[in-house]
Amino acid sequence: MKKKNSLLTNQKYERSVQEHAKLSDEDKLIKAHLLYLQKDEVDTDGAYSFVKKQIQKGRKVFRLYEQFSRVAAILILPLLLVTIWSISKINNRPEPLNAKQQIVQSVQEVVCPVGTRSKVLLPDGSNVWLNAGTTIKYNLPFSSANRNIELHGEAFLDVAKMDNSEFKVYSNNVEVVVHGTQFNFRSYNRDDRVEVCLVEGSIDLNISVENKSIKRAKLKPGDHLSYSKDEKSTELINQNLNKYIAWRKGLLVFDDAPLLEVARELERWYGVEVEITDENLLAYRYTTTFENESIQQVVDLLELSSSMKVEYLPKSEIDSGKSKVIFKRK
């Protein structure tokens, strides 16, 4: 858009507004409706082709927003959509469609509520383990041209190798492109950090903020990349990844973890509500591993290994939707 001569431009607009203001109400109405008739002159077809091309170019990284506030008790929520015809039928409409419609992809959504973990087998043979409080979305058909997953939460992916086919995972401004790999992707909305670590294979990673790429990285096995959403900075280290992927085997691992982190993990892992009654307790750090233990056992252990009092209140006893865990001073 070019910048025109300012004075002329201003005059043009001023005149237009003034001329319109002088019209009678009826004339204004006529003018308004004559405008509408110009619609036929507008090339909507050409415009749509252009828009479609821009979208397919996928020039911006797919972004996600905090829409997933459901903690549904349903594990799988398929939103099958074959054509608009189907919807019309459901709504008891007589068919409508013009010949311009295309085959529509259906969207598969898998919700893994807090307090559980699950595993999903994707149509291409890839395995995806979902940690508590995780949602993934992908389009069907899940063909080689279209292996894309949206993630909120934490997943461990064992991606099936397919020739000439990339597998992409997006979450919170981070996009990962893989070619037959095993990696862990941790990106919970409430957390500041997004973490990706690679067990096997290779990954191309791209982080974008406001449509500008701020970091590209190629990960090799053993790499752990951590991205801070607040600081918009990344950290890449190569190390033993066991503690990051232990959750898959039902192990809850804390490695010098501050109390707040422990609290959040317990909330997700067990689906409980955690209360910390004293600010000073936040300085405390835990290093411990829980394996298939009940929340009561976990609470007992947390108390034994620290100088705090930790209490577990099952929901039946307190008449609330969730059980509670309370951290108090001794």
Partner 1 sequence: MQKIENINERTLIERFKVGDETAFELLFRFYYAGLVLYANQIILNRPDSEEIVQDFFVQLWEDRLKINSADSLKPYLFTCIKNRAFNYLKSEGIKEKVHQYIRAQVEEDILYDPDIYISEELQGEIKRAIDKLPDRCREIFIKSRFKGDSNDEIANELDISKRTVETQVSKALRILRVELKDYVGLLFLLGILKNF
Give contact residues for partner 1 (rule: CB under 8 A).
1, 3-4, 6, 9-10, 12-14, 16-17, 20-21, 25-39, 42, 44, 47-48, 50-52, 54-55, 60, 62-65, 67, 79, 81, 83-84, 87-88, 91, 93-94, 96-98, 100-102, 104-105, 107, 109, 137, 139
Take residue 277 and report the two structure tokens written for it.
């009654």
- Quote the least distance from Cβ 148 to partner 1, whole Å: 10
Beta carbon nearer to partner 1, 140 or 301: 140
- Quote the least distance from Cβ 129 to partner 1, whole Å: 24
For 168, which DSSP code?
Answer: E
Tell me whether residue 122 is exposed, middle or buried, using C-beta atoms within 10 angstroms of its C-beta: 0 to 12, 13 to 18, 19 or more.
buried
Beta carbon nearer to partner 1, 78 or 250: 78
Beta carbon nearer to partner 1, 48 or 238: 48
- Quote the least distance from Cβ 110 to partner 1, whole Å: 14
Backbone angles phi, psi at 292, to 5 degrees: 50, 40
Cα separation of 190 and 90, whole Å?
37
- Quote the least distance from Cβ 211 to partner 1, whole Å: 9
| Integer angstrom CA distances of residue 259 from 77, 264, 276 | 34, 9, 9
Beta carbon nearer to partner 1, 67 or 307: 67
List all residues 6 or more positions away from 226 whose beta carbon is below 8 Å from its beta carbon. 193, 194, 195, 234, 235, 236
- The amino acid that residue 208 corresponds to is S
- Quote the least distance from Cβ 178 to partner 1, whole Å: 21
Question: Please, what's the b/e burial string for 52-74 (b: 16 or more CB within 10 A of its CB; e: otherwise)?
Answer: eeeeeeeeebeebeeebeeeeee
